[in-house]
Structure 1
Amino acid sequence: MFDWMAWTLPVAVFFICIALMLVGMTVWEIRSPTTLRKGFLPIATTRGDRLFIGLLCAAYINLVFIGLAGRIAGWLALDQEPSIWVSFVASMAALALIMRRG
């Protein structure tokens, strides 16, 4: 069923984190309905809006990292491409920033 995708540990962890965030946000929304809030984003957002924007940013960070991994290895004179865990940590940090301050 899932043979079409290259399921590695980082990919599985990334999708598991997304699923857990969606479940957690659903429970949080049921227990405490959200209100509009203005942060550093140019629009007033709810928690769900910030989660959506943060997940898009996380996906783009991972895609950019994958696209530039070979060049990063060349720029830093590394023997091999940097670990995908670097982009995972960066994308989760960006998501946390958007959720908290966005």
Structure 2
Amino acid sequence: MNLNWMAWTVPTATFFIVIFCLLVAMTVWEIRRPGGAPRVGLLRFETTRGDRLFISLLGSAYIHILWLALFPALSLWWAFAFSFLYALAVFRWV
């Protein structure tokens, strides 16, 4: 299959591999400890593990976009660090 039109770079491939690994990890977690019961957190609506993963990924995308807009000269590793802390907070309190 010819995928040259997609301009696969190492960061792009890494991004999709990490998303795939997160989905596999969540699947294994659900198989090993089924029933991640919905809970009501800070946002005041029921969320499951998958919902919290989605909220984490969506928020992390916005963090990175804002980082690129506000601090284009700084390393994206800082945005990654903030995204990781954001994801931990979402899984803990949302």
Residue 23 (1) aligns with residue 24 (2)? yes
For residue 3 of structure 1, report the CA deviation from its aligned partner: 5.3
For residue 8 of structure 1, report the CA deviation from its aligned partner: 4.7
Q: What amino acid is the match of 1:35?
A: A
Unaligned runs of 5+ in 1: 71-80
Q: How many residues align?
A: 91
The equivalences for 1:8-87 within 5 A come to 8-9=10-11, 11-33=12-34, 34-70=36-72, 81-87=73-79
Q: TM-score, normalised by structure 2?
A: 0.80
CA RMSD of aligned residues (A): 2.0
Q: What amino acid is the match of 1:4?
A: M
For residue 15 of structure 1, report the CA deviation from its aligned partner: 3.5
SS at match of 1:35: coil
Q: Which moved further from structure 2: 12-21 or 48-57?
A: 12-21
Change (3 A) 1:26 1:16: same
Change (3 A) 1:30 1:2: farther
How high is the sequence identity, in percent, across the aligned residues? 42
Unaligned runs of 5+ in 2: none
For residue 19 of structure 1, report the CA deviation from its aligned partner: 2.1
Work out the CA distance in 1 between the residues paired with 2:10 and 2:85. 21
1:95 aligned to 83, 87, 93, which one?
87
Work out the CA distance in 1 between the residues paired with 2:40 and 2:80. 27
Higher strand share: 2
Q: TM-score, normalised by structure 1?
A: 0.75
Change (3 A) 1:46 1:60: same
Q: What amino acid is the match of 1:56?
A: L
